[in-house]
């Protein structure tokens, strides 16, 4: 039987989602906890990878188990067992052919920028001191809808088969001294959101023109785009699946 886990985490203390040698990952902590409680070696497959320091308001993962699980009880026990920076929202059974990563139809990210020095937000947002032209940043973001290949925003030496992504949303909003970038697509490349935000910030600060976005994307060259912004302002906020996945 296959089960989905919906959970959130503060990424500050982790080297990203995915297991790796000599570093603590969210996947490792979650796998160890579930394996101990179910008294069986459990492998957990995430909907995607988040880099070191990136947070998740909603992450989805799946695992397989031969027996029927009291999902409410396991949710309670996991929350009691896991550290305070990982929280389980729900565990539910899905059809056995549903995959947490390949079954997702979209991912939604938010990037938070603090426009003022905020002692309560510095761990969860990127403090930007210079004045930004948000209208220009939104105009540049709209240009991205004309393209599908976003290799220019991808980390180098990645092993993906395609750099194409179907963009669904990309917009900036400002409220209460915070600037938030919302971006949604069917899939994302490694480092893509942080590179896009860094490029848009350079346009907003007047270091690039809005129309430069065309040349950057057409170049398919990471060196033409802006520097990646820090990880701690990035949140994986929502992952969507078809409505009929539950068993």
Active site residues: 51
Query: Which residue in 85, 77, 74 sits closest to 24, CA to CA?
Result: 85
Residue 32 tokens read as 């160890």
- Measured CA to CA, the distance from residue 190 to residue 210 in angstroms comes to 24
Could you please report the per-residue DSSP string of 105-117? -EEEEEEEEESS-
Question: Which segments of the chain does DSSP mark as H helices, in order?
Answer: 26-38, 71-81, 134-143, 192-204, 212-219
Alpha-carbon span 154 to 9, nearest angstrom: 24
Backbone angles phi, psi at 83, to 5 degrees: -65, 165
Q: Where are the strands (E) in 47-100, listed by range?
A: 55-64, 86-94
Q: Residue 201 in contact with residue 221, Cβ under 8 Å?
A: no
Other Cβ atoms within 10 Å of 28 Cβ, number: 17
- Report the candidate in 234, 245, 246 with the shortest Cα–Cα distance to residue 102: 245
């Amino acid at each position: 039987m296959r089960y989905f886990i919906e959970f959130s985490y503060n990424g500050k203390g982790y080297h990203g989602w995915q297991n790796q040698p000599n570093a603590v990952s969210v996947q490792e902590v979650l796998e160890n906890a579930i394996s101990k409680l179910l008294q069986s070696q459990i492998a957990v497959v995430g909907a995607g990878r988040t880099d070191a320091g990136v947070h998740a308001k909603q992450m989805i993962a799946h695992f397989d188990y031969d027996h029927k699980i009291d999902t409410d009880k396991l949710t309670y026990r996991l929350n009691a067992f896991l550290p305070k920076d990982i929280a389980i929202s729900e565990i539910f059974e899905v059809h056995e052919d549903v995959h947490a990563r390949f079954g997702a139809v979209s991912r939604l990210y938010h990037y938070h920028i603090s426009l003022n020095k905020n002692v309560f937000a510095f761990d969860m947002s990127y403090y930007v001191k210079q004045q930004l032209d948000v209208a220009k940043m939104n105009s540049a973001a709209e240009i991205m809808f004309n393209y599908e290949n976003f290799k220019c925003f991808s980390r180098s030496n990645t092993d993906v088969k395609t750099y194409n992504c179907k963009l669904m949303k990309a917009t900036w909003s400002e409220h209460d001294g915070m600037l938030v970038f919302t971006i949604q697509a069917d899939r994302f490349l490694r480092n893509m959101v942080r590179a896009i935000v860094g490029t848009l910030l350079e346009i907003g600060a007047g270091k690039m023109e809005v129309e430069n976005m065309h040349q950057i994307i057409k170049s398919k060259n990471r060196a033409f785009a802006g520097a990646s912004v820090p990880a701690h302002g990035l949140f994986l906020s929502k992952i969507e699946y078809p409505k009929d996945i539950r068993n």
